[in-house]
Structure 1
Amino acid sequence: MPMKANKIEPQSQTRKQKKDTPWILHIFNHKCFVTTIIGCYSCHWKIRQEKKFKHGQCCSLRERLFYPYLVISFCMSVLLVFVWVESSNEYNGFDWVIFIGTGLWFFWSIVLLSFLGILAAYTSLLLVLGILLLWEGIELYLHWCHKTLILLVIVICSFFFWILFTYWKDRWLTVGLSLQVFAPYIHLSSIAMMVILSWPLAFYLIHLEGEARIRRYQMTCNERKRNKRCNVLTKLRALQVAIGLPFFLILLCLYLLPLGNFSPCVQEKNKLAPKPDFFGHRGAPMLGPENTIMSFEKAVEHGAYGLESDVHISYDHVPFLMHDSDLRRTTNIKEVLPDASLTHPSLFDWDFLSTLNAGKWFSHAPIKPFFGMKPLSKADRERAGNQKIPKLTELLELAQKEKKFVIFDLNGPAPNHSLRALYVRHVVSIILDSQIEQHLIFWLPNFEREYVKKKAPGFQQVGRLLPVERLTKENITRINADYKNLFYNGMREYRAANISINLYLVNEPWLFSLAWCSRIPSVTTDNIQVLNEMTQPSYFMTPKYYLLVWILMDILSAVFIVAIFYFHWWKESKQEKFLKSTSIHTGTLFFAVTPSQ
């Protein structure tokens, strides 16, 4: 009976312990954690006792040679994601370019963003898993599938970088502009990141220091290996310098960075310029079908200063509003006359063009023209579905009624068009016949500008991004410039010559904030309904506020970093004292036992 009791008692105690143990410890424990990260990194999912590596031997030579490729793939993928996120102002233009080549409208920009995000997340995960394995002291072994995918990521990223440097160089200009706006926030975030990185860095540096001291202590006990241990000590010191010195140099640079940092959005409130005026780009294309009367009326409702459009001339000499070089995207030409869907718009008579529907592609299509566009109300959806291609004269009537300025790109007709050589003069005569006040016309086309000045002296001449001397010579007091090029060509010369600036195409609030803080008078935008609601620039702060946050962040980060290093030093000192006491006890025991032998 006692035997049975002895067998049953431990079982009951074990059951009681299991019952008292929290349920989460039954599922998640250290062995489960280690097995998971090993499985994800090395694709070895069997639970086994992993071999701990010795100092300086974290993995094989092959793994050490491949690990830089993982770091390179991580850096390339993250940089690509950053560039594409900062290029969000250009997403609609990118989708349009893909449509021109494929004939299929889709949010290709979002697809590309998602793909690049997956690459960055994958490489980041592998990098974090590798760091966790090193933290656990487990030898690294990256599975060949991961190695293959990492090399593929490098090839894909290299391809995209080649495209960026070859065909999309202006994307780098956009990134540079975004850094002007976000520079103070990136600076403060970088300091916070350095504080986080100081934890593993302090652990590693203090660990190296402790190991160096232990080896120096052991040198007095074993003089025969003195030279060898001195070499090891030198390597440990060199490793400490190689890791710690760059960290503290970067931290010092971050502490002093605001001394040379310039952001237009850091300025006094009383020096902030008035809010820029808006030109509705093809109207308000997020609220109504572009280049339709509904779209222009929506722009007027949201406070547009002027209306921007694109003009083509029909085969029977009627100027009408259309952006593309064919009718596929914004009309139902594929349903009405599919074989002529790629025909230039100037080769159709107005009688045919006026029958086409120019709104259902916007109101009834499953894929909207802008990502994240708000759904239309029932009334607006019905109204948009009934829109037609408008004449230029209809836009002029609306502008005269609402006292809005009009600016447009004038597209030349097809080569065999009867007005190929006279289309500019014809459009000028149409505008003059409409009886619109001449000062409401911002004349943008460069063709036959001298004729336009003589025929319509009241038109406000608008130039491109040309040298100030040429603009002054041609008596042009306003320019219409791509925002990417203007900021890098300088604005002081144009301001000194009293030349007003209109930037296109400005859709993102951060970019509009940059234009506002840079004292730009007006912008052309698709996103008038959002930008019109802004009461002050985003990411705006006064110099005193930024100075206060900067000093406070520097002090707090320095205190945290010192505290982190002190904590790891204190922890390592306790372990070192314990090891020394253990070694002394072992040595005393050894000398006490030796005489008896």
Structure 2
Amino acid sequence: MEETQDSSSSKPKNTDENSSLWIEQYFNHKCCITFLTGCYSCQWQYREWEKTELGSCCCSRKEQFFYMCLVIAFILSVLFLFVWVETSNEYNGFDWVVYLGTGCWFFWSILVLSAAGIMVAYTTLLLLLGFLLLWERIELNLHTSHKVFICLVIILCSFLLAVLSHFWKDKWLIAGLSLQIFAPFVHLSLITVMIIISWPLSICVARLESEVKVRRYRMADYEQEIQERCNVFQRLRALQIAAGLSFLIILLCLYLMPLGIYSPCILKKENLGPKPTLFGHRGAPMLAPENTMMSFEKAVEFDVSGLETDIYLSFDSVPFLMHDYDLTRTTNIKEVLPSAAGNHTSNFNWTFLSTLNAGKWFLKHKPFFGMKPLSEADKRRAGNQSIPQLSELLALAKREQKIVIFDLFGPRPGHPLRNTFVRRVVKVILDSKIEQRLIFWLPGFDRDYVRFMAPGFQHVGRLWSIKDLTKHNITIINVDYKRLFYAGLRDYKEAKIYIHVYVINEPWLFSLAWCSSINSVTTDNIELLNQLSRPLFFMTPGFYMFMWLFLDIASAVIIGFAFCYNWIKEIKRERWLEATASSGLLHSETITDITENNDASQQKPEVAPTSANLAPENMIELQKTEPTTENL
């Protein structure tokens, strides 16, 4: 009797526990649905949403159209973000071009990057919300504000991509180069993504199969709707095949992707060339004001092989270091002589140029995003920099045995050295007594005179043909890295041409140059590139082959297990429903409804429905469909 009392007293406790568990699950699900519909449709009040049947349209034609627009906006924003992220090496150049047009120095490149990231995050969130609502089989109803923003994203991304294609075509070249070095890792990452996707997809495919069987079971009670049901079966089968077959095709393409991948950084260790030597671009512009003696001295501290600069000649024939055609950006001429701020650099005498400050701008407006803060001593030193003469740089290079390479800008019409500026620069170099082998002579004007006066100079060509380089007896080229990798790099290496590229700041680009056996690079980011002891993303062919086969086999096993597990799970649930219906507990019309409600409350399909584990609405259905003498 005591045992009977104990068992009877324990039943209410179990019932209470099951009831509280159901309430917790139900209201958690209710809050989740409210959150999804609130974010997607801006409808924050919960109501009983009518669930759409599998195989029927999830929403109206209008909503389908805007969901396709959302997919297009997502693709365009991701494409633009990818291109812009991969062109981070060119951010400083982009900011400089915008400065020339606006006269305002700002990190415009970072602003564009932030906007692209926001657009991708926004469209991704909407896609995810829409997918979750479809998973819950709730009709989509995108809010008007979201529709407007989606259209704006499509217009803005299309405009930006068109601008890139028209004005900066080389940005697409950079994106292509990034695919060369990142392709092996993108391949491995995509297979991992497919493994993650396989689980919800396998549930969806198995659920569609279960839906077909359940509806076939119900057809016996509705003979007059056979034709309509057959159309539903066709749609369900079409969804099942479209989802499963497209997934399988993409997976097979990923499995075979390495057969079409070429990456310079997949090679044997013994075939990896020496690390490219570094040339400081205008010195070390991330550590000091560009084209100042402090900048070149900072570059020397990091043991660069060469120093790159730009040369103008003053009106009184003094070669000095300056990049811009005017003095506005890198000097304080607006404070000293505002009326002449826009004049050409070569129109001033050296007596005036030597009085200008060339370092305060560096402290006010950082030229590079993410620069390290300067020490107080470096701040004081940078604030006192002036425009240096070419002779000062040559003295430093002579003392430290560094190579000097420079762009020489000719004077404007009316300048005293309009036709003889090259000879003036050659004279200054020879007067400095620097070893002639340390001069990489890049200017193409008046080369015959230069060869005659300074036979020891190492003449540097551009992206010329091998025939032209041989004709002019040139064995060194200085080229833009974007053009080089698409213009016969292999031919230059076979001809044993010394290859120097500019301007490389990103580690992945430097790794690409290293794996491609480039001899030297010009860079702004001396400190970071100097720390690299081996190329990033470097892999031997054997290691990549192992990773390829291992991940392919592992993914095939995991994906196969996911599909088999969820398929068997659905079969067990079907058997349970059939057994329950045949025993008279459930009528065939309520099979699907109970299945859905059990899913929402996370019931196990193997357990028969009872008053403790079925939702209240299901209990009402059970009471309505209990076997009676009429039914029997």
- CA-CA distance at 1:596 after TM superposition: 8.6
Structure 2 CA distance, aligned partners of 1:25 and 1:592? Answer: 32
Q: 1:529 to 1:59 in 2, by over 3 A?
A: same
Render the CA deviation track for 1:437-487: whole Å, top value 9, x for unaligned: 111110111112222222221111101111111111111100001011100
Q: Corresponding residue for 1:385?
A: 383
- CA-CA distance at 1:576 after TM superposition: 1.3
Q: Which moved more, 1:48-57 or 1:313-322?
A: 48-57
Any conservation in 1 of the 2:279–2:304 contact (CA below 8 Å)? yes
Structure 2 CA distance, aligned partners of 1:344 and 1:231? Answer: 77
- CA-CA distance at 1:336 after TM superposition: 0.8
Structure 1 CA distance, aligned partners of 2:368 and 2:328? Answer: 17
Q: 1:596 to 1:401 in 2, by over 3 A?
A: closer
Structure 1 CA distance, aligned partners of 2:48 and 2:225? Answer: 33
Q: Which moved more, 1:491-500 or 1:211-220?
A: 211-220
Q: Corresponding residue for 1:54?
A: 53
Where do 1:219-234 residues align within 5 Å? 219=219, 225-234=225-234
Q: 1:27 to 1:374 in 2, by over 3 A?
A: farther
Q: 1:586 to 1:541 in 2, by over 3 A?
A: same
- CA-CA distance at 1:181 after TM superposition: 1.2
Q: Corresponding residue for 2:212?
A: 212
Q: Which moved more, 1:502-511 or 1:582-591?
A: 582-591
Render the CA deviation track for 1:196-221: whole Å, top value 9, x for unaligned: 11122112211111122233444566
Instruction: Please give the secondary structure, in 1, of the residue aligned with 2:485.
Output: helix
- CA-CA distance at 1:92 after TM superposition: 0.7
Render the CA deviation track for 1:298-329: whole Å, top value 9, x for unaligned: 11110111100000000101000000011111
Q: Does 1:477 align with 2:475?
A: yes
- CA-CA distance at 1:237 after TM superposition: 2.3
Where do 1:161-176 residues align within 5 Å? 161-176=161-176
Q: Does 1:343 align with 2:343?
A: yes
2:392 to 391, 394, 400: 394
Q: Corresponding residue for 1:9?
A: none
- CA-CA distance at 1:387 after TM superposition: 0.9
Fraction of identical pairs, as percent: 59
Instruction: Please give the secondary structure, in 2, of the residue aligned with 1:532.
Output: helix
Any conservation in 1 of the 2:584–2:627 contact (CA below 8 Å)? no
1:579 to 577, 599, 608: 577
- CA-CA distance at 1:235 after TM superposition: 3.0
Structure 2 CA distance, aligned partners of 1:582 and 1:450? Answer: 99
Render the CA deviation track for 1:8-28: whole Å, top value 9, x for unaligned: xxxxx99xx99x989x96998
Q: Which moved more, 1:264-273 or 1:221-230?
A: 221-230
Q: Corresponding residue for 2:80?
A: 80
Q: Which moved more, 1:494-503 or 1:505-514?
A: 494-503
Where do 1:556-595 residues align within 5 Å? 556-586=554-584
Where do 1:198-597 residues align within 5 Å? 198-219=198-219, 225-362=225-362, 365-586=363-584
- CA-CA distance at 1:593 after TM superposition: 5.3
Where do 1:79-118 residues align within 5 Å? 79-118=79-118
Instruction: Please give the secondary structure, in 2, of the residue aligned with 1:29.
Output: helix
Q: Give the letter for the 1:555 counterpart.
A: I
Q: 1:27 to 1:105 in 2, by over 3 A?
A: farther
- CA-CA distance at 1:170 after TM superposition: 0.6
Where do 1:35-46 residues align within 5 Å? 35-46=34-45
- CA-CA distance at 1:491 after TM superposition: 0.9
Q: 1:28 to 1:103 in 2, by over 3 A?
A: farther
Instruction: Please give the secondary structure, in 1, of the residue aligned with 2:577.
Output: helix
Structure 2 CA distance, aligned partners of 1:204 and 1:66? Answer: 23
Q: Corresponding residue for 1:33?
A: 32
Render the CA deviation track for 1:270-319: whole Å, top value 9, x for unaligned: 22110000111001111111101111111111011110000000010100
Structure 2 CA distance, aligned partners of 1:480 and 1:596? Answer: 92
Q: Which moved more, 1:412-421 or 1:177-186?
A: 412-421
Render the CA deviation track for 1:479-530: whole Å, top value 9, x for unaligned: 0010111001121111122211001000000000000011101000001111
Structure 2 CA distance, aligned partners of 1:333 and 1:116? Answer: 37
- The normalised TM-score by structure 2 is 0.87
- CA-CA distance at 1:592 after TM superposition: 7.9
Structure 1 CA distance, aligned partners of 2:139 and 2:370? Answer: 47
Structure 2 CA distance, aligned partners of 1:188 and 1:497? Answer: 36
Structure 2 CA distance, aligned partners of 1:28 and 1:172? Answer: 51
Q: Which moved more, 1:68-77 or 1:198-207?
A: 198-207
Q: Give the letter for the 1:238 counterpart.
A: A
Structure 2 CA distance, aligned partners of 1:236 and 1:242? Answer: 10
- CA-CA distance at 1:403 after TM superposition: 0.9
Q: Give the letter for the 1:434 counterpart.
A: S
Q: Which moved more, 1:215-224 or 1:253-262?
A: 215-224
- CA-CA distance at 1:579 after TM superposition: 2.6
Structure 1 CA distance, aligned partners of 2:298 and 2:333? Answer: 25
Q: Which moved more, 1:375-384 or 1:583-592?
A: 583-592
Structure 2 CA distance, aligned partners of 1:585 and 1:243? Answer: 36
Q: Corresponding residue for 1:5?
A: none
Structure 2 CA distance, aligned partners of 1:367 and 1:199? Answer: 51
- CA-CA distance at 1:33 after TM superposition: 1.5
For the aligned residue pairs, the C-alpha RMSD in angstroms reads: 2.5
Q: Which moved more, 1:241-250 or 1:297-306?
A: 241-250
- CA-CA distance at 1:67 after TM superposition: 1.0
Q: Which moved more, 1:135-144 or 1:230-239?
A: 230-239
Q: 1:489 to 1:428 in 2, by over 3 A?
A: same
Q: Give the letter for the 1:31 counterpart.
A: K
Structure 2 CA distance, aligned partners of 1:161 and 1:110? Answer: 17
Q: Which moved more, 1:543-552 or 1:246-255?
A: 543-552
Instruction: Please give the secondary structure, in 2, of the residue aligned with 1:66.
Output: helix
Q: Give the letter for the 1:247 counterpart.
A: F
Report the count of equivalent residues: 579
- CA-CA distance at 1:231 after TM superposition: 3.6
Q: Give the letter for the 1:334 counterpart.
A: K
Q: Corresponding residue for 2:599?
A: none
**Residue segments in structure 2 that go unaligned for 5+ positions in a row:** 1-11, 588-624
Q: Corresponding residue for 2:621?
A: none
Structure 1 CA distance, aligned partners of 2:130 and 2:425? Answer: 67
Q: Corresponding residue for 2:618?
A: none
**Residue segments in structure 1 that go unaligned for 5+ positions in a row:** 1-12
